[in-house]
Each structure stands twice: as C-alpha cells, then as structure tokens.
DNA sequence: ATACTCATGTGAAATGCTTCACAATTTATA
DNA sequence: TATAAATTGTGAAGCATTTCACATGAGTAT
C-alpha cells in the first residue's frame, strides 16, 4: 500500500514482515528476561505460531544474525531488530484529544519502554487546557502547529472525534510531522510522504463476528 | 484443511478481504447518510484507496450484489455486508479489566452502533466491584465463569495487565466463550475453535517508526 | 580427526492475493 | 430500434508471500 521510495535499491519489505518483527521484538525481550542466551528459529516460531522458515526469511531480509547449529543470540538479535524498526532511539510524540481513549494512552507505560515518549498534549476543551496529565500540561489546540514545530514533534496520535480528525491532521501535516497514528474511524487524507496508521477496534470485533458466523479458522500452522 | 462445517463448504476468505469489508461497511454508512442511492466499485475504491477490481473481487466471493452499468445499491449492499460480517444482530460482550483502557471502551458508542453490546464488566479491585459504569455494575472477577455462562456472553474483551491475561482467558475459555479481543501484549494460548484477535498499538507505532527510518534516505537524496 | 547433530540462510516451488481484460448486461439517447 | 456509455462479474495473468528442501557451517562426542 505504501509506495516504495524508488530511490534506494532496497527490496520492498512487506507489512506482514514488519509486524512480525514487532512480535519478535516483544518475544525476544521476554526471552532475555527468561535468561535465554540463544534462541532458534524453531523456538521463536513456536512462540509466535509461525513456521521456522518464516522467521528465518523475515530476518534474512536484513542480514545474517544467527549461527548455524546454535541459533540466534537473544540480546544481540533484539538489538538488531530494534535498530531495524527504528526503536533504538526516542521518538517525540504528541497526543491530540485528551478524552476517553487519549487519557488511557497518556498513562500507558509500554510506549515509553519502546521509545515512544508522549511529550505534548492538545485539546480544545477549556476545562482541559492547562491541566496536568502525568506531568504534561495540556496545550490549546490553537497552538498545535507552532508548538509541534517548536518542540520538534515527530509523531502525532490523533484521538479526537471523527468529525474533526481531518482538520487536526491538516494542521499536523503543515507542521511537517510525517507520522500519524489515528484512532478516529475516518479515512484521513494526507499528502504522499506522510505515514498514517489506523487503529480500528471495530474492525477486530467485526473480524471476530465474521469468524464466529462463518466458523472461520486462522491459517493452519505447518511444520518446517 | 477445509473442514466441512456442517452447512457450507466455503472457500477460504482472506483476512484482508474481511478487513476491507469492514471498511466498505463504514463507507457505505457514510454514503447512505450522504443520500447516495447507488455506488460504483470505482467510487468505493476511490474512497478506500483501492482498485475497483479489488472491490468487485471482494464482493464477488459472497454473491452478485450489483447491477451492470449502474453499480451497487447503497442501502442494500450495506445490509448484505453487515450480514456477511455477522453484525446484523446483537453480540453480547463482556469486558474484563476496568482500568485506563477498559473505561474508555465502556463509553465507546461506535461499538453499540455495530451491534457489540457490552453488557457485563469484571474487575478484581474491591473499589471497583459494585460500582456503576454507564449503567453496568462491575462484577467480581471470581464469578467470571459462572456469570459469563448465565448471561450468555459471546465475546470477551480482555483489558487486564499482561501478567494476568492468560489466567483470565483460561476461565473465559472454560465458560465456552469462543471470541476474545485482547489488549494485553501477550500471545494468548487458547484451544482451537476459540478466536482471538489482538489489539496492539505498539505495533502500529513501530510500523510508523520503521516507515520513517526507511523512507528517509541517508543524505536527503530521496525525492519521495 | 571423523562422524553426527543441530540449525541457519537461501534459491526454487508452492501457494495466495491483486490486477487485468473483456464478455455481459443495463441505462441513456437519438 | 440501434448505438453508445457505464459498470459488473470473473477467468486468467501477474505479483507477492510463504513454505520447502538442502547445502553449508558450527558445536560435540568418540
Ligand atoms: N473511547 C474508545 O474506546 C475509542 C475506541 C476506538 C476509537 N475511538 C475514537 O477515538 C476518538 C476519541 O474517542 P473518545 O472516546 O476518547 O472521545 P472523547 O469525546 O472522550 O474525547 C475526544 C477529545 O477530543 C477533544 N476535542 C474535540 N474536538 C477537538 C478539537 N477540535 N481539537 C482538539 N481536541 C478536540 C475533546 O475535548 C475530548 O477531550 C474518536 O474518534 C473515537 O471514535 C475511541
Ligand atoms: N492504557 C493503554 O493505553 C493501553 C494501550 C494498549 C494496551 N494496553 C493494555 O491493556 C491492558 C490494561 O491496561 P490499562 O492501562 O487499562 O491498565 P490498568 O492497570 O489501568 O487497568 C487494568 C485493570 O485490570 C484490573 N485487574 C488487574 N488484575 C485483575 C484480575 N486478576 N482480574 C480482573 N481484573 C484485574 C485492575 O483492577 C484494573 O482495573 C494492559 O495489558 C495493557 O498492556 C493498555
């Protein structure tokens, strides 16, 4: 769906591969805490309900990280995956809309663990502007554009009502922010070069509904 | 792989197709409100940033809903899609864990619009048990299994800390609930026949991170 | 050393998904 | 009624992703 950048000679990596890398990252963190020194593609696959080939192929797009006969060094692989995903650094994130879902996100500690630091909050409700959420003072939405730029925000989470999401996003784009995580159930329009991901919970419930009605099972897990 | 499900020996429908049907449903609702009588695959595709063929193919798995030369009748197609997704009815949903994210979900009106009725809440915190959220009294988690069964709950949303999610799910499975929407960042184990979908926000942020890191050419050579 | 086992990395095959291309059907117009 | 325009539904082609299969390398035991 994303247009490949045309310039780099790099092969296009599929969305599924990236999502699986996220999952590997989480599992590697777990394995590290369980004091595993190395892990095989077989073990990783078992934990993720994938085939070992899938795991090896995914990793092979980015290099050779394993040792034949042994597997992958957990800590090292985790570092590599985190580098590939670009989470070996801090991302400065702003959150717009401190309502039900917005408030939940501000207090979510996993984001910080993965380098996503919510450092600014915006709302248009006078009762919320100026109030303190987890140490951050809520800014007036009027200043969205200037404050995003002045504070070097790189990602914005949109948690406002669907009716206003596009207006907010237009401003976000003007502030030259290139990554948006959107919770509003609308198809946002952004110029090319701006990345948008939608978080859509209805979609997952609907998938469950479909699966139940159709007795639809996920793809079978094979062996290698 | 195709187990005859007793009624139809139907072709396997991909996850992407189901997700797109969810999107069509949302767009069709919008078109209905905009007083469109019919819509072509071209128009639908434009709104969803897809190809017209994709739209037609998706729908064709389930029947012929359009008229050549005219397009699809909006209201009728919406009804058909809602039937396919199984959201032409009410699903009785329980929510476990009335914390940050759980509280946000209880107040989310879109769920009800699509037939997902949250009718029970569970928590283990004595301060929360017995309290009233949007007209629902929070039940003690101890009674999870019996109350899920007595109240004929068909779907459960899990919004408890990752460390306890598996225990909750084990009980949910015992209560013969066959659909789980999980917000905890863990790979849940469930017997086959139980459907689990994971809502994973870190994953989407990580995708954005990857996209940014990889689209950004090292020396500003990229024109994209 | 040699043999044996384990497990990676990777072309090639298999499978799955998307797009193409066009016959078929309907509406509009003269 | 004939012709042109619009648009569906679908087999087949074109791509993309996943899985297979195996050569290769590393560790271990005798
Ligand atoms: N609540 C949920 O569980 C949930 C789940 C999925 C998606 N969503 C979506 O997330 C979005 C927010 O949902 P919510 O339940 O938190 O709603 P909410 O009404 O509780 O919160 C919206 C917030 O946005 C603020 N806001 C409104 N207009 C604004 C503007 N022009 N500029 C800045 N801030 C503005 C409001 O003051 C409020 O604080 C909606 O689009 C909703 O569809 C919500
Ligand atoms: N907050 C977010 O934005 C966010 C985002 C994505 C995912 N999540 C995930 O959702 C889950 C909940 O997150 P949260 O921020 O709402 O946490 P939270 O601590 O605010 O809420 C957890 C709730 O679960 C309850 N609980 C704990 N143990 C329980 C048990 N054994 N039985 C029943 N209830 C129990 C607690 O009393 C609390 O009400 C976590 O797994 C978290 O990783 C949260």
- In B, minimum Cα distance to A191 occurs at B224
- B22 Cα to chain A: minimum distance (Å): 6
> Residues 98 to 127 of A: which have CB under 8 A from any B CB?
100-101, 103-105, 107-108, 110-111, 114-116
Tell me whether B88 touches chain A (CB under 8 Å): no
∠ Cα A168 A194 B111 (to 5°): 55
A101 and A77 in one domain?
no
B55 and B121 in one domain?
no
Q: Give me the number of domains chain B comprises.
A: 2
Q: Is residue A1 part of a domain?
A: no
Tell me whether A152 touches chain B (CB under 8 Å): no
Distance A103 CA to ligand 2 centre (A): 13
B128 and B46 in one domain?
no
Last residue of a domain, one of B50, B67, B85: B85
Distance B126 CA to ligand 2 centre (A): 15
Distance B148 CA to ligand 1 centre (A): 30
- B127 Cα to chain A: minimum distance (Å): 19
Last residue of a domain, one of A42, A61, A85: A85
Residues with CB under 6 A from ligand 1: A 96-102, 122-125, 128, 141, 159-162, 164, 168, 183-185, 201; B 104-105, 107-108, 110
pLDDT in tens, chain B (224 residues): 333 333 344 678 999 999 999 999 999 999 999 999 999 999 999 999 999 999 999 999 999 999 999 999 999 999 999 999 999 999 999 999 999 999 999 999 999 989 999 999 999 999 999 999 999 999 999 999 999 999 999 999 999 999 999 999 999 999 999 999 999 999 999 999 999 999 999 999 999 999 999 974 333 222 22
**Rounded CA separation B48/A1 (Å):** 11
Q: How far is the CA of A54 from the C1' of C19 (A)?
A: 26
> For residue B23, what is the domain's CATH number?
1.10.10.10
Contacts of B31 in chain A (CB under 8 A): none
The residue whose C-alpha atom lies closest to atom 3 belonging to ligand 2 is A105
- Whole-number pLDDT of residue A12: 87
Q: Is residue B100 part of a domain?
A: yes
Q: Is residue B180 part of a domain?
A: yes
A104 and A75 in one domain?
no
B106 and B78 in one domain?
no
Q: Is residue A152 part of a domain?
A: yes
* pLDDT band at residue A11 using 50, 70 and 90 as cut-offs: confident
DSSP assignment letter at B142: G
**Rounded CA separation A4/A12 (Å):** 7
Q: Is the CB of B127 under 7 A from strand C?
A: no
Q: For residue B107, give the ligand 1 atom closest to its CA.
A: 1
Q: Is residue B147 part of a domain?
A: yes
- Whole-number pLDDT of residue B11: 74
A165 and A106 in one domain?
yes
Contacts of B5 in chain A (CB under 8 A): 214-215
CB A88 within 8 A of CB A151: no
A75 and A37 in one domain?
yes
- Whole-number pLDDT of residue A21: 98
- In B, minimum Cα distance to A92 occurs at B209
Tell me whether B63 touches chain A (CB under 8 Å): no
- Give the number of other CB atoms < 10 A from CB of residue B172: 26
Question: What secondary structure, in 3-state letters, does chain A show?
Answer: CCCCCCCCCCCCCCHHHHHHHHHHHHHHHHHHHCCCCEECHHHHHHHHCCCHHHHHHHHHCCCCCCECCCEEEHHHHHHHHHHHHCCCCCEEEEEECCCHHHHHHHCCHHHHHCCEEEEEEEECCCCCCCCEECCEEEEEHHHHHHHHHHCCCCEEEECCCHHHHHHHHHHHHHCCCCEEEECCCCCCCCCCCCEEEECCHHHHHHHHHHHHHHCCCCCCCCCC
Q: Is the CB of A60 under 7 A from strand C?
A: yes
- Whole-number pLDDT of residue A59: 98
Q: How far is the CA of A45 from the C1' of D25 (A)?
A: 22
CB B35 within 8 A of CB B24: no
Q: How far is the CA of B38 from the C1' of C24 (A)?
A: 20
Q: What is the pLDDT of residues A108-139, one digit of tens each?
A: 999 998 999 999 999 999 999 999 999 999 99
Ligand at shortest distance from the CA of A101: 1
**Rounded CA separation B179/A94 (Å):** 34
- Percent of chain A having pLDDT more than 70? 92
Q: Is residue B218 part of a domain?
A: no
Strand pairing of B136-140 and B91-96?
unpaired
- Whole-number pLDDT of residue B77: 98
B21 and B102 in one domain?
no
B58 and B153 in one domain?
no
A120 and A70 in one domain?
no
B145 and B176 in one domain?
yes
Give the H or E element holding residue B29.
helix B15-33
A67 and A30 in one domain?
yes
Which residue range forms the structural domain that includes residue B53? 15-85
Q: What is the pLDDT of residues A33-84, one digit of tens each?
A: 999 999 999 999 999 999 999 999 999 999 999 999 999 999 999 999 999 9
Asked if B86 and A210 come within 8 Å (Cβ–Cβ), the reply is yes
Distance A211 CA to ligand 2 centre (A): 26
Q: Is the CB of A130 under 7 A from strand D?
A: no
- A208 Cα to chain B: minimum distance (Å): 6
Distance B158 CA to ligand 2 centre (A): 8
> For residue A107, what is the domain's CATH number?
3.40.50.720
pTM (predicted TM-score): 0.94
Q: What is the pLDDT of residues A173-187, one digit of tens each?
A: 999 999 999 999 999
Q: Is residue B214 part of a domain?
A: no
Last residue of a domain, one of A31, A50, A85: A85
Residues with CB under 6 A from ligand 2: A 104-105, 107-108, 110; B 96-102, 122-125, 128, 141, 159-162, 164, 168, 183-185, 201
Contacts of B213 in chain A (CB under 8 A): 85-86
Q: Is residue A125 part of a domain?
A: yes
């Amino acid at each position: 769906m994303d247009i490949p950048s045309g310039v780099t000679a790099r092969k296009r990596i599929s969305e599924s591969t990236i999502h699986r890398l996220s999952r590997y990252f989480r599992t590697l963190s777990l394995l590290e805490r369980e004091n595993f020194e190395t892990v095989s593609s077989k073990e990783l696959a078992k934990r993720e309900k994938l085939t070992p080939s899938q795991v090896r192929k995914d990793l092979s797009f980015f290099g050779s990280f394993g040792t034949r006969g042994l597997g992958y060094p957990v800590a090292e692989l985790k570092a590599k995956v985190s580098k590939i995903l670009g989470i070996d650094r801090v991302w400065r994130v702003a959150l717009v809309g401190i309502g039900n879902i917005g408030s939940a996100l501000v207090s979510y500690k996993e984001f910080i663990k993965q380098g996503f630091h919510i450092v600014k909050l915006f709302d248009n409700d006078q009762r919320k502007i100026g109030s303190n959420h987890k140490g951050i003072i809520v800014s007036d939405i009027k200043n969205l554009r200037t404050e995003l730029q002045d504070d070097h925000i790189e990602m914005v989470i949109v948690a406002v009502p669907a009716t206003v999401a596009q207006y907010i996003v237009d401003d976000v784009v003007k502030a030259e922010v290139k990554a948006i995580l959107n919770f509003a159930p609308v198809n946002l329009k952004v110029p090319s070069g701006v990345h948008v991901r939608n978080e859509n919970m209805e979609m997952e419930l609907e998938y469950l509904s479909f699966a139940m009605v159709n007795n639809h099972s996920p793809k079978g897990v094979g062996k290698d």
